[in-house]
Structure 1
Amino acid sequence: MASKFRLFTRRFLLLCNIIVVAVFLLACLVPYVSPSGWWFLSILGIGFPFLLLFVIVFLVWWLVVKRKYALLSGIALLLGLKSISVFFALNFPGKFTTEKKGDFRIATWNVARFVEMKNNNNKGSQTRLKMFDLLKEQNADILCLQEFVHVDDNPEWYANINDIQTKLNYPYYTYTYYNDGNPNFVLKNGTIIFSRFPIVDSGMINFPRPSLREGLVYADIKVKDQIFRVFSTHLQSFQLRQDDYDKISKIKEGEDGIVSNSKTIFAKMKTAIVNRQIQTDIARKIMDDSPYPVMFCGDMNDVPNSYTYFTLRGNMNDAFLEKGRGIGRTFASLSPTLRIDYILADKSFGVKQFRRVVKNYSDHYLLVADMQLPKK
């Protein structure tokens, strides 16, 4: 009887292993298929870290219990090596030095509207001051900020552009935004690039509807007689609200209404995935047309194992993979595996050091990298 139970258990676990490996390999295919046609498959990319964990657990289990079955997980890991390689950064630990290495320092951060937009002294405004102090500490030469807001000529609201220019010493900037405020004044919300080096040219492209009112901005920056182009954007998010997070909590806890709670969330995910592909394809084409070496700094709202990341990265270097370590989470909510913000650079640049600043001021973490200019 005991032997039959062991046989049943072994076969059941083998079946589970086969299913996990199949789903894992499907997740590895996500970067290579069209999200608009396979949007549900794209969701597997988000779950890639957990699928990878299950595959590794099965590998270890079979190595102990029945070695020949470990081959199943071993082959899956080999086939998924490219997806695994963009998920982990395996670099030796090194301390990020305040003193700059290379020719310039660049930073990117989704600042979540600096938490508070109205001029006051509440908790949100105190967080805004801490965010400004944190930016000052980095002493970056170039800042790429997403979900950046600014209000002109209204003392009741923060004029963030003026404050960053005067208090943090960034004389040059280019800004793509849309108006989403009171009709009596203009509240600008978008993506901005600040620079301490001259911006010799700039441009912006608004992504088409029905996607959200996002935009791609670029700046041609001159450093030591060399010009390179920096792109920044905020691609469409899932637009999850507090009630959506509450539904996710109910799903995690296995409460009643799992199906009904999932419908709205999956609908938002589908919309975001399809529209993000449109934005990604437009951004990739524009980056390919650049006459100068390119850098991309921004919030993709997508994980490394995705069509978005593989398309936008192309053959560029990922600063985190070059000099970071671990998983590199950049989004503070939902899951510890979400790396959705990036600093990418043409391979002609050198990545000298990289830092992820883990401070829960925004819902994203600040990224900083020291870069070496391309050799002439």
Structure 2
Amino acid sequence: MKAISKITIPIWCLLTLMSFGSVLVSPAFFKYAGLIALSIPFFILANALWFVLLLFKPSKKIIFPLVLLLLSIPFVRSTIAYNSKQKSGKTISVMSYNMMRMNKMGDRGGANTMRAWLQSEESDIKCFQEFLGTKEVIKAISSKGKYHSFVGGYGNSYAIFSKYRIINSGVLYKESSTNNILYADLKVDDDTLRVYNVHLQSMSINPDKELNQQGFDQNYESVRRKFEIGSARRAGQLDDLISHIEDCKYPILIVGDFNDIPFSYNYFKLSRHFENAFENAGNGLGFTYNGKIPFLRIDNQFYNDQIEIFDFETLSNIDFSDHFPVVGIYSITH
């Protein structure tokens, strides 16, 4: 038995470390990195169970699950948040929302109901993905709160509405791209705030056809390939985003639909450069996806060290789309 444990414990520790380390490897370099990262919750739970069992049967081996659990703290912190609301003075509220093509299908209340809510929502800055708004919609949202607007990307897929004057704006990719990154520089009193509105590469997986038991069995290779391609493309898009940011000296907010869970290369790479609003001011699990794949937090807001976060909330009662809106409350600190 001791001989077996001498073999199995090192192998188990190695597998755990490989799983944890997968978030440090770009899927553009190693295509299976994103798939391996999906095993992280399993290893965390298994090591927690191992640790608890050894509490009831004291053994020096408890050091192994203990060390592995300590190494898992960044993953736990990115998944579960508990923060108290902070007092604040003058703040900037920022909403990000993937609108599911303005809910053109009408199966979640319809575009008109969604538009009425968008007009009544009072965030200072609103960033939309899958917007596809007509001139009438843009005018309606802009005039209600006297917002300035910048709309761009393929078919007006992305929009930034701001109560602050837009002094500069742009699009990272040519307009034929269905996934894109918009940015706008906003004049906030004596400061300039750079806001990036992000919608990284989608998986293009149909949960109705490909993720039920029969569909998954039949389309496993297709689903795996879509996952690998999507992960690699998002890694490249994130590299482009970070390169674009390098010369920017302003306070920076990066918000939108990242199409990546917290256990991913993109999330951890961005977290090395920026703070995550959910981790520092959110509560609970903060799931943002409202579709048929449950328990996903793929919509995020990140900010740099010239900004302070006071509150962050997922509006899970707003279910017009297959995403929930997220709202962060910030102030510029310098």
TM-score range, shorter chain: 0.7 to 0.9
Which of 206, 210, 222 is 1:241 aligned to? 206
Instruction: Give 3-state SS (helix, strand or coil) of 1:327's partner.
Output: coil
1:82 matched to 2:74? The reply is yes
Letter in 2 for 1:322: N
| CA shift digits 1:43-91 (9 cap, x unpaired) | 2323433432222122212222454333222111122333333232232
User: In 2, Cα distance between the equivalents of 1:207 and 1:54?
Assistant: 46
| Aligned-residue offset at 1:334 | 4.9
| Aligned-residue offset at 1:331 | 1.2
User: In 1, Cα distance between the equivalents of 2:291 and 2:64?
Assistant: 34
Residue in structure 2 matched with residue 3 of structure 1 by the alignment: none
1:59 matched to 2:17? The reply is no
Letter in 2 for 1:149: L
Instruction: Give 3-state SS (helix, strand or coil) of 1:194's partner.
Output: strand
Aligned pairs for 1:160-179 (under 5 A) are: 160-166=137-143, 168-178=144-154
Aligned pairs for 1:1-376 (under 5 A) are: 15=8, 21-92=13-84, 94=85, 102-116=90-104, 126-136=109-119, 138-152=121-135, 159-166=136-143, 168-178=144-154, 188-206=155-173, 213-242=178-207, 245-250=208-213, 258=217, 260-359=218-317, 360-375=319-334
Consecutive unaligned residues of structure 1, counting only runs of 5 or more, are 1-6, 153-158, 179-187
**Contact 2:252–2:307 (Cα < 8 Å) also in 1:** no
**Contact 2:153–2:174 (Cα < 8 Å) also in 1:** no
**Contact 1:30–1:307 (Cα < 8 Å) also in 2:** yes
Report which stretch shifted further, 101-110 or 278-287. Answer: 101-110
Change (3 A) 1:293 1:308: same
Change (3 A) 1:111 1:256: closer
Instruction: Give 3-state SS (helix, strand or coil) of 1:233's partner.
Output: strand
Residue in structure 2 matched with residue 4 of structure 1 by the alignment: none
**Contact 2:193–2:251 (Cα < 8 Å) also in 1:** yes
| Aligned-residue offset at 1:205 | 1.1
**Contact 1:21–1:55 (Cα < 8 Å) also in 2:** no
Change (3 A) 1:23 1:149: farther
User: In 2, Cα distance between the equivalents of 1:225 and 1:91?
Assistant: 30
| Aligned-residue offset at 1:341 | 0.9
**Contact 1:18–1:72 (Cα < 8 Å) also in 2:** no
Residue in structure 2 matched with residue 155 of structure 1 by the alignment: none
Instruction: Give 3-state SS (helix, strand or coil) of 2:131's partner.
Output: strand
User: In 2, Cα distance between the equivalents of 1:73 and 1:338?
Assistant: 27
Letter in 2 for 1:196: K
- Decide which structure has the larger Cα Rg and report it: 1
Residue in structure 2 matched with residue 183 of structure 1 by the alignment: none
Change (3 A) 1:204 1:247: closer
Change (3 A) 1:334 1:298: same
**Contact 1:201–1:220 (Cα < 8 Å) also in 2:** yes
Instruction: Give 3-state SS (helix, strand or coil) of 1:199's partner.
Output: strand
The alignment's TM-score, normalised by the length of structure 2, stands at 0.88
The alignment's TM-score, normalised by the length of structure 1, stands at 0.79
**Contact 1:324–1:355 (Cα < 8 Å) also in 2:** yes
Change (3 A) 1:123 1:280: closer
User: In 2, Cα distance between the equivalents of 1:361 and 1:18?
Assistant: 49
Consecutive unaligned residues of structure 2, counting only runs of 5 or more, are none
Letter in 2 for 1:364: H
User: In 2, Cα distance between the equivalents of 1:48 and 1:128?
Assistant: 38
Give the number of equivalent residue pairs: 332
